[in-house]
Amino acid sequence: MKPAPIAVALDTDDIATAVRWTGQVAPHVSTVKVGLELYLRYGREVVTRVREAGGERLFLDLKLHDIPATVEKAVRAVADLTPAYLTVHASGGTTMIKAAAAAAPETKITAVTVLTSMGEGDLAEIGLAGPADDAVRRLAALAVGAGARALVCSPREVALVRAEVGAGIDLITPGVRPAGSAADDQTRIATPESALAAGADLLVIGRPITRDSDPGRAAAEIAAALRAAG
Ligand SMILES: O=C(O)c1cc(=O)[nH]c(=O)n1[C@@H]1O[C@H](COP(=O)(O)O)[C@@H](O)[C@H]1O
């Protein structure tokens, strides 16, 4: 069976746990995501170990955001790991995103628009009053213009981002919660089925899978629900 378009967020500070989760979920999902918690502790070793455990297609979520020269060198430092996706913050601007894209031609530089944890109050506090939509749309257009080949936004903005950037750009949505699952620190959320129906290409799902007593079963259930809905 074709694996579901899900990237499981391996958010743990323990490499053995990340390897175990990967073995459990890999038969059911297309991608695994290594983020800051794991990468900052173990570096490239974790990428090797996760791949050995079956997590061949890698989403490296380092959310880079710095001056263009520094981001370019940081991207170059991990380019040989050939992640399918590598994140930068879209708010780093055009020159920074261009530098990232030039440094890793084989990887889809993935621009994070507005974090899915941010609600209207958080946005107002940093000077982005109103719903997230406008900022997400603006940052999405800027990032694609600068060479980003994938975007991260919440499931609630997928349709408007697709209308803005068209086909050919991968739209990736965290903030995914199966019905009845705790929201945790996520604010702009939707169910897996509705994120996919809205046009997402890849759903990032962490705790609803990894917190389960059987992450393999949890991933298989969400994958089956997506197949049934599609
Ligand atoms: O870039 C990301 O992956 C990301 C962007 C964003 O806006 N929101 C967001 O939650 N993420 C990541 O997606 C994952 C979501 O995990 P859960 O909330 O446990 O499903 C975490 O690893 C976050 O770092």
Phi, psi of 228 (to 5 degrees): -65, -40
> How many angstroms separate the alpha carbon of residue 164 from the centre of ligand 1?
23
Query: By the 8 A CB rule, do 34 and 63 touch?
Result: no
Spatial separation of the C-alpha atoms in residues 166 and 169, rounded to whole Å: 7
Q: How many CB atoms lie within 10 A of CB 123?
A: 19
pTM score, whole prediction: 0.97
Q: Which amino acid is at 188?
A: R
Largest CA distance in the chain: 46
Number of structural domains in the chain: 1
Q: Which residues form the domain of 106?
A: 4-229
pLDDT of residue 1: 79
CATH of the domain at 134: 3.20.20.70
* Cα 126–Cα 182–Cα 172 angle in degrees, nearest 5: 60
Query: By the 8 A CB rule, do 162 and 176 touch?
Result: no
ipTM surpasses cut 0.90: yes
Spatial separation of the C-alpha atoms in residues 26 and 54, rounded to whole Å: 6
Nearest CA to ligand 1 atom 12: 174
Average pLDDT in the 34-59 region? 98
Q: How confident is the model at residue 147 (pLDDT cuts 50, 70, 90)?
A: very high
**Ligand 1 first shell, C-beta below 6 A:** 9, 11, 35, 61, 87, 112, 115-116, 152, 174, 184, 186, 204-207
- Residue 148, token pair as written in the block: 């980003």
